[in-house]
Amino acid sequence: MLHTIYLAGGCFWGMQGYFDLLKGVVKTSVGYSNSNIPYPSYEVVCSQTSGAIETLELIYDGEKIKLDEILTRFFSIIDPTSYNRQGNDIGSQYKSGIYTQDAKILKYIKQFVQNIQSRYDKPILTQVDKLKNYYLAEDYHQNYLKKNPQGYCHIDLSLAQKPI
């Protein structure tokens, strides 16, 4: 069965590059979530006036990859205790978050985050909430690292090949 989850963890290029390498991930796209304005452009998102967050839409086959693995891998490549920052990416559009429109999955994610809090010395600041909206980013952002293998990425993509 296919499920959709939205992950925000800094620059969406690296998020997409990493999760595209996992078996069971059926499709991804990058875009802007929870914007205060419809169809924000990259320039508007970077101005930090839209409230939008760079986000990965991830469609996965729950028979081939479990939500636990997706969440565990997500937390292994971000700093969930950092506010509005991941790596060299700084600004409100780079906050970390997990979003869904499924109330049952949302409850599960909140419990997952609560269960892993003890692994961190500081509070987890990753936002877990219902997805308000998602707008597809411009074409040049889609699969950016496949098109530009030497492009900037704050995530070590080789970690996708390692067991969790």
Q: List the catalytic residues.
A: 11
b/e code 40-50 from CB counts within 10 Å (16+ = b): beeebbeeeeb
Closest C-alpha to 59, from 27, 21, 30: 27
> Counting every residue, how long is the chain?
164
Single-letter code of the amino acid located at 94: Y
Residue with tokens 């595209």: 20
Q: Which residues contact 101 (CB under 8 A, 6 or more apart)?
A: 4, 130, 131
Contact criterion met (CB below 8 Å) for 154 and 14: yes
d(CA 39, CA 50): 10
CA distance 7 to 55: 6
